[in-house]
Amino acid sequence: MARITLETPLSTFPAFKKSVLTRLEKRGLSTVGDLLRHLPRTYEDYSVIRPIGGLTVGEPATVEGRVKRLSAGRTYRKHVFLTEAVIEDDTGQVRAIWFGNRFIAQTLTEGARVRLSGTVAEDGKGFLFQTPDYERASRSATHTARLIPVYPEAGGVSTRFFRWQIAEIMKRVSDIPDPVPEEILSRLHLPSLRAALRYAHLPKNDTEWQLARKRFAFDEMFLFQLKALQAKALYDTSKAVPIRDDADTPTESFLASLPFEPTDAQHRAISEILRDLEGPRPMNRLVNGDVSSGKTLVAAAAARTVARAGYQSVILAPTEVLARQHWEGLSRLFADEPFPVALLTREYRFLGTDSASKASIGNAIAAGIPKVIVGTHALLQEGIRFHDLALVVVDEQHRFGVEQRAALQSQASGLEDGEPDRIPHFLTMTATPIPRTLALAFFGDLALSVLDEMPKGRRPIETRIAKNGADREIVYDFVRKEAAKGHRTFVILPLVEESEALEDVKSATAEAERLRTDVFPDLRVGLVHGKLKAKEKEEAMRTFKEGGTDVLVATAVVEVGVDVPEATVMIIENADRFGLAQLHQFRGRIGRSDRKSHCFLFPSDGAVENARLETLEKSSSGFEVAEADLALRGPGAFFGTRQSGLPDIAMENLMNLRLVEIARSEAGDLLAADPSLDVHPLLQAELRRFEEGVHME
């Protein structure tokens, strides 16, 4: 056969039939390199061969012996195809059974010597292995008698198939060039790529596979940081409009005129932003704030400064409901300013306080009349022409990675904004407190401002884990008493409609009807969920906010942004189904005034996760809650793996701050010497492959 390299198509191997190739290609596996990068998700230790007479029930074990007896056929009652073999050695015999696998009956023969690996079980006839891995004893150990790799499922292709084919290809592949410079590997005591692949797929001991995962974790984080730092370098070499604070009506006088006193953290963040805006390079900053920490005021101060300098700002929100809320809040804050605030979404169109057509608002924006424009992310894709856009603010971008932020920046840079040689300043905001490791990994290309204080006058939310039965009646009675004071209650559920897959999880629609009919017939119960149209959601929230409903049943649609100062009670059903960070987000929808507020967590029936939920009882700090969530569930659950954009091994290692810092330091040093990676073509090609395969979203 021709020379095998990482670029060799799998289609050149006879073992890869067309049906298998189709399934693998759907998972992005089409070359030898792709296959070798399909790393095991775990390992089973069957390295010790035990005598059959010394087996113990429940232990993983490998035995080697002769097939004494073999039978195959359908069972009498259920008509399931069953293969049964009796294996013996000098110390005894043991049964092995396989269900539904005709191939085994065709490959095993009586008298053949075989190895079996599996967990020892017992029935009325004695010890047995149920569906063990097996192979002839004359073969080198692939499926038995070693550390057995278990591969992620890929379209029905078995882990046994991966094991066999990867072991064969590893013996034959001739060229495995290493994209990571040798001096970096030497400095960090990491194995070469060839060695790491062998350690991962054919480990001799725990040390080898752990060393392999260390190497691949570094690789993925290193590539991610290269991409992030390249994006930062590109932004750092761009030009922006220098914006200076208005000498006649400076930001500090604007803040002093507010009916409330901003926190020290808000003052600090605003000062950092104003300092960035003054420079000739575009600002690229993240405001990382706790729930209710006042990030909207920070954005407003930035937008006002830009407007006072004669330029435009656009503020982008993730939903139309939140966009409208931002517009309403900014309209109040800027009521005495000499410029109108425009709102332009698919559902809502306002110029100042007047409803207007999309065309007329578009013309006004192009003429430079509104200095602050609010919309959703789609605003950048709708062909809007700006007059002199100098600032883009993106709200709730914690779910998006380097690539998507770069795309937003690119869209903003390509707009008709009256500043063809310059790009806008860029401000990202999130109300999800992000632990240090995640902030460094995901947002390392951004300058960071942290809002870690609550506005003065806000009282901590009392949070309690409740139980069904007497607790529920006490909570419902408390809701009635709060309603009598004019206060309101959120009831949060994880699903919109009943699900057979999660029968114990209440649906929002069913729960709203139950509360309306059986529990609170004297109160007004509303309903809002993600399947409603934007106007229907906005109407439900507006009615609740204005006191038209006392209790609002909702799904996660209320997680971010909704501001109802009169809401003082939150009930979260099936609370164990949510992450701590998400529960903290929910909890932040109440306690937005000086009224005492209460959050009641009802775990699912039988839930044993109260220890996890106790974090919320003990702490009101979103940063503490986020750290606990990260430690308990891992970064994949914290961000949602799909949105995170990092491969599995990197996600698993994100809590390793030292790894993130080392990868970032090595990436920075390399780019300082070779910004375009022209001196490192293998690494340049690997970075392109990484971007294409991961998308960094």
SS3 (DSSP) at 676: coil
- Name the token pair of 352: 């100042």
| Boundary-marking domain end, from 619, 634, 652 | 619
Q: Does residue 39 sit in the same domain as residue 63? A: no
Convert the pLDDT of each residue in 653-697 to its tens digit: 666 778 888 999 999 999 999 999 999 999 999 998 887 765 444
pLDDT, mean of residues 120-125: 92
Q: Does residue 327 sit in the same domain as residue 387? A: yes
CA distance 461 to 42: 42
CA distance 451 to 477: 36
Q: Does residue 499 sit in the same domain as residue 531? A: yes
Q: Does residue 16 sit in the same domain as residue 84? A: no
Please provide the size of the chain in residues.
697
Q: Which of 336-340, 363-367, 544-548, 619-623 bottoms out in mean pLDDT, i.e. has the lowest?
A: 619-623
| Boundary-marking domain end, from 428, 451, 474 | 451
Nearest to 490 by CA among 559, 567, 561, 566: 567
Segment holding 100, helix H or strand E: none
Phi and psi at residue 173, in whole multiples of 5°? -65, 130
CA distance 95 to 28: 40
* Residues forming beta bridges with residue 464, ordered by sequence position: 600
CA distance 324 to 344: 9
pLDDT at 533: 79
* Band (346; pLDDT cuts 50, 70, 90): confident
Nearest to 590 by CA among 448, 451, 489, 669: 489
Convert the pLDDT of each residue in 252-274 to its tens digit: 999 999 988 999 999 999 999 99
Residue labelled with tokens 């001799």: 204
Q: Which of 280-284, 380-384, 641-645 bottoms out in mean pLDDT, i.e. has the lowest?
A: 641-645
Q: Which residues, 6 or more positions from 88, have their beta carbon under 8 angstroms from its beta carbon? A: 52, 65, 66, 68, 94
Q: Which residues, 6 or more positions from 485, have their beta carbon under 8 angstroms from its beta carbon? A: none
Residue labelled with tokens 């350690």: 199
Segment holding 38, helix H or strand E: none
Nearest to 431 by CA among 450, 444, 447, 403: 450
Instruction: Provide the strand spans (E) within 377-424.
Output: 389-395
Q: Does residue 444 sit in the same domain as residue 537? A: no
Please, what is the average pLDDT of the chain?
86
Q: Does residue 297 sit in the same domain as residue 398? A: yes
In the chain, pLDDT over 90 holds for what percent of residues? 52
Q: Does residue 355 sit in the same domain as residue 423? A: yes
* Band (505; pLDDT cuts 50, 70, 90): low
CA distance 455 to 437: 26
Nearest to 292 by CA among 595, 582, 566, 592: 592
Count CB atoms within 10 A of the CB of residue 98.
Answer: 21
Instruction: Output 7 or 494, whichever has higher pLDDT.
Output: 7
In a domain, 508, yes or no: yes
In the chain, pLDDT over 70 holds for what percent of residues? 89
| Boundary-marking domain end, from 399, 420, 451 | 451
Q: Does residue 116 sit in the same domain as residue 164? A: no
In a domain, 135, yes or no: yes
Q: Which of 163-167, 430-434, 659-663 bottoms out in mean pLDDT, i.e. has the lowest?
A: 430-434
Tell me how many domains the chain contains: 4
Pair 310, 369: CB distance under 8 Å: no
CA distance 577 to 603: 8
CA distance 302 to 311: 11
Pair 536, 561: CB distance under 8 Å: no
Nearest to 505 by CA among 556, 464, 564: 556
Q: Which of 246-255, 472-481, 493-502 bottoms out in mean pLDDT, i.e. has the lowest?
A: 493-502
Which domain CATH number covers 60? 2.40.50.140
Pair 575, 602: CB distance under 8 Å: yes
In a domain, 582, yes or no: yes
Nearest to 316 by CA among 411, 423, 236, 401: 411
In a domain, 150, yes or no: no
Convert the pLDDT of each residue in 558-573 to its tens digit: 644 567 889 999 999 9
Q: Does residue 300 sit in the same domain as residue 356? A: yes
Q: Does residue 521 sit in the same domain as residue 614? A: yes
Q: Which residues, 6 or more positions from 76, have their beta carbon under 8 angstroms from its beta carbon? A: none
Q: Is 625 left (phi over 0), alpha (psi -120 to 50) or beta?
A: alpha
Residue labelled with tokens 């570094």: 218
Residue labelled with tokens 């995901």: 442
For residue 562, give its domain range: 462-619
Which domain CATH number covers 568? 3.40.50.300
pLDDT, mean of residues 201-222: 93
In a domain, 153, yes or no: no
Pair 118, 7: CB distance under 8 Å: no
In a domain, 646, yes or no: no
In a domain, 306, yes or no: yes
In a domain, 513, yes or no: yes
CA distance 448 to 561: 21
CA distance 574 to 508: 12
Q: Which of 168-172, 296-300, 573-577, 650-654 bottoms out in mean pLDDT, i.e. has the lowest?
A: 650-654
Q: Does residue 298 sit in the same domain as residue 267? A: yes
pLDDT, mean of residues 419-423: 76
CA distances (Å), origin 489, targets 532, 548, 572, 616: 20, 12, 11, 19
pLDDT over threshold 50, residue 41: yes
pTM of the model: 0.73
Convert the pLDDT of each residue in 584-606 to its tens digit: 888 888 988 888 999 999 988 76
CA distance 590 to 588: 5
Pair 118, 129: CB distance under 8 Å: yes
Q: Does residue 323 sit in the same domain as residue 408? A: yes
